[in-house]
């Protein structure tokens, strides 16, 4: 339903659809990275429970935003025709975006389960940290490839 609304907006030439993906990508990345950093700092400052709690909420909100960002990218990819090297770059970008999203979802769900079962202060807390670190690496690669799509192939401009 939302994609139909976006299409209607684009048909009226108010806001190009290609702008929704860059608009929706950066905020979830910031939420996830800052939440991950809060978790890392909470390992050092164990007597400060607000760091881990803030990291938890930032990561949950970041996951929800990442789902929206991935959806807008998936929608735009279906509306933009590409070929050759640009298509190959987009496919690799999409692969790493999907890997990022999968790792973010799994890590966030693991944290939600740990909070629900009250096991966030056990050894298990390192599992979501490792998954978020892997997601962070995938996000860096995805961002590089997305920038390459814009700069090298002028996609979305």
Number of domains the chain is built from: 1
Separation of alpha carbons 130 and 85, rounded Å: 33
Q: Which domain range does residue 59 map to?
A: 18-153
For the question of whether the overall pTM of this predicted structure is more than 0.85, the answer is yes
Instruction: Report yes or no on 8 lying in a domain.
Output: no
Instruction: Report yes or no on 107 lying in a domain.
Output: yes
Mean pLDDT for the chain?
Answer: 89
Separation of alpha carbons 148 and 103, rounded Å: 23
Instruction: Report yes or no on 4 lying in a domain.
Output: no
24-39 pLDDT, tens per residue?
Answer: 999 999 999 999 999 9
Residue 133 token pair? 């670190």
């Amino acid at each position: 339903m939302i994609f139909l609304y976006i299409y209607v907006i684009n048909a009226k030439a108010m806001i190009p659809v290609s702008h929704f993906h860059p608009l929706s990508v950066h905020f979830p990345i910031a939420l996830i990275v800052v939440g991950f950093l809060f978790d890392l700092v909470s390992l050092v400052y164990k007597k400060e429970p607000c760091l881990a709690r803030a990291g938890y909420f930032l990561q949950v909100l970041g996951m929800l935003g990442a789902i929206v960002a991935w959806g807008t990218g998936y929608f735009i990819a279906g509306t933009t025709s590409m070929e050759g090297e640009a298509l190959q770059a987009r496919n690799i970008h999409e692969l790493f975006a999907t890997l990022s999203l999968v790792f973010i979802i799994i890590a966030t769900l693991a944290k939600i389960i740990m909070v629900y079962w009250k096991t966030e202060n056990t050894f298990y807390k390192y599992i979501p940290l490792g998954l978020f670190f892997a997601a962070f690496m995938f996000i860096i690669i995805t961002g590089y490839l997305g920038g390459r799509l814009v700069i090298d192939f002028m996609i979305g401009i």
